Structure 1
Amino acid sequence: MSTIKYTPDHEWVQIEADGVVTVGITVHAQDALGDVVFVDLPAIGASFAAKDVAGVVESVKAAADVYMPVSGEIVEVNEALRDDPSLANSDPLRAGWFFKVKLSAAAELDGLMDSTAYDELVKNS
């Protein structure tokens, strides 16, 4: 069973078994953005620290940075999302994922929120 964690910036992180995590934006984020029309994804092989800007998502209403939830190296990007940015709206937690990261500091995952804490954050924002 995979575990999903959340950031205060509305990214989700799905923890895979091999030290790789999948990253995307939450349902709340895509609701706030509206219809996504463009995504700028990071380059495979690029390394980022947690909280670095790793990409951009643009909608008809606004543009927003996509932050790295954890430190690591980009090992895969979702080319289907680049071709069809609306996947970020229609299926943000599955087909609309943004990129996969090989963790360089797995302990950073401990600083992310579980779904209960994230739901509280969204409810109180």
Structure 2
Amino acid sequence: MELLLNDVLNLTAAEIDNSRIELNMTEGSGGIAYIDKWLSLGQDEKDSGITDCSYWGWYGNKKNFNIGQTVFSFIKMSYDEWLFISAAEIVDVPVGSRARVKIIKRLIPLFGRLVMKYKKGNKYK
């Protein structure tokens, strides 16, 4: 049975239009796999909606996010499986660093428990 992501997240059309999905694989090229980092965390850290592998505010001179946008962060588990680890509203996008975020509390129970299937491959874009 196919279950769509929004069947779980229950977003309105306006919320979807103002959202982004972030797919994270490794800490830099050839770095530690984020799934390994996730597995090493304590439950309190996982429940807080980790931000040190998500929400990078800039790609070169281009902003990745806008203030007020919602971002859903996933980390790669296998070829086409992605673990949901965080959801947040962007509150600031400082130059050259991670965006400042406000974790969406109603989605915390899904962190580390929701797996999405998506065929991205091993590309960083």
State TM-score, norm by structure 1: 0.31
Higher relative contact order (CA 8 A, sep 6+): 1
Greater Rg over alpha carbons, structure: 2
TM-score, with normalisation over the residues of structure 2? 0.31
Between structures 1 and 2, the one with greater strand share: 1
